[in-house]
């Protein structure tokens, strides 16, 4: 088992992503509102050039969506494909990230 974490910066794709995940049998995710480090730093008095530049390029986006899913190892690539298809590719700047880490213990989730 792995914990798949999807940080979706393109929040306009959020509903479509949830729909596609559900269509492919992926349910039971936990969804969190999140804020990136650059956004948090920009809200402080001292703002770095990098933070300011990112805000200049995308001033509207204040929040991201973080999706957490526990699933079988072999399903990670299918989830990644869905995320990339819906977003147009995570290789684009500021689109988001996906990663998976091993889960050594889990309780309370039925299949």
Give me the domain span that covers residue 9: 2-36+63-102
Residue 55 in any domain: the answer is no
What is the per-residue pLDDT for 63?
A: 86
Residue with tokens 């889960």: 103
Residue 28 in any domain: the answer is yes
Residue length of the chain: 111
Q: What is the pLDDT of residues 12-38, one digit of tens each?
A: 999 999 999 999 999 889 999 988 765
Q: What is the pLDDT of residues 78-110, one digit of tens each?
A: 999 999 999 999 999 889 999 999 999 998 877
- How many structural domains does the chain have? 1
Rounded to two decimals, the pTM is 0.79
The CATH number assigned to the domain holding 96 equals 3.30.70.120
Rounded CA-CA distance 27/24 in Å is: 9
What is the per-residue pLDDT for 45?
A: 46
């Amino acid at each position: 088992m792995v914990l798949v974490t999807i940080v979706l910066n393109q929040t306009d794709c959020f509903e479509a992503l949830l729909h596609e995940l559900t269509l492919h049998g992926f349910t039971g995710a936990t969804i969190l509102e999140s804020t990136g480090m650059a956004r948090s730093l920009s809200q402080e008095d001292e703002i770095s050039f990098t933070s300011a530049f990112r805000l200049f390029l995308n001033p509207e986006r204040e929040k991201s969506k973080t999706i957490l899913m526990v699933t079988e190892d072999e399903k990670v690539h299918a989830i990644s494909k869905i995320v990339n298809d819906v977003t147009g590719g995570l290789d684009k700047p500021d689109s988001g990230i996906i990663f998976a880490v091993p889960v050594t213990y889990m309780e309370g989730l039925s299949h």
